[in-house]
Amino acid sequence: MKNFFKMLYIACALSCICGCTSITYTESDSSPEIKGGNGTYRQILISNYGYYLFNCIPLGCGGLSDGSFELFSDNVNLDKAMQTLKDECAKDNADAFSNIQVSQTSTCIFSWVPYLGSTLGIYWFKEIQISAAIYSENFKIEKDAK
């Protein structure tokens, strides 16, 4: 019974410090077709979040691939998110992309606690999202084959 509570404690502690990366595409039937071309545009959304001490010491965040996470590394920044977009475009043989939108947030989780959250700012949540339209002539065939 003692080991059970120890494992439960470790699982709760890890769930509080880990982050995640997610990569989402629009469905093939909701993507607009390009007039006069064989390819399609699809929207891609890349989201990465993580947790930090004092807004600068990383505890855990998402990695550079879909569904991954890394402990004690700082991947929640524009450079790493653009690298993930570049890797996805290369993986999908994208011919072009456009309309890149970037959103970044940084929030102190304990900001509602007087003095602890606003003055000290101990525990922070950071997130970055990149959205883009990707064009490829092979995109529809490769994604539907999987």
Q: What residues contact residue 91 under an 8 Å CB cut-off, 6+ apart? A: none
Separation of alpha carbons 25 and 7, rounded Å: 36
Compute CA distances 105 → 2, 33, 46, 122, 123, whole Å. 40, 33, 14, 16, 14
Q: Cα–Cα–Cα angle for 57, 58, 59, nearest 5°?
A: 120
Which tens digits make up the pLDDT trace of 53-98?
888 888 888 888 888 888 888 889 999 999 999 998 888 888 888 8
Total domain count for the chain?
Answer: 1
Q: Are 123 and 113 in contact (CB under 8 A)?
A: no
- 15-19, 70-74, 126-130, range with the lowest pLDDT: 15-19
- Residue 120 lies in domain: 2-145
What's this model's pTM, rounded to 2 decimal places? 0.74
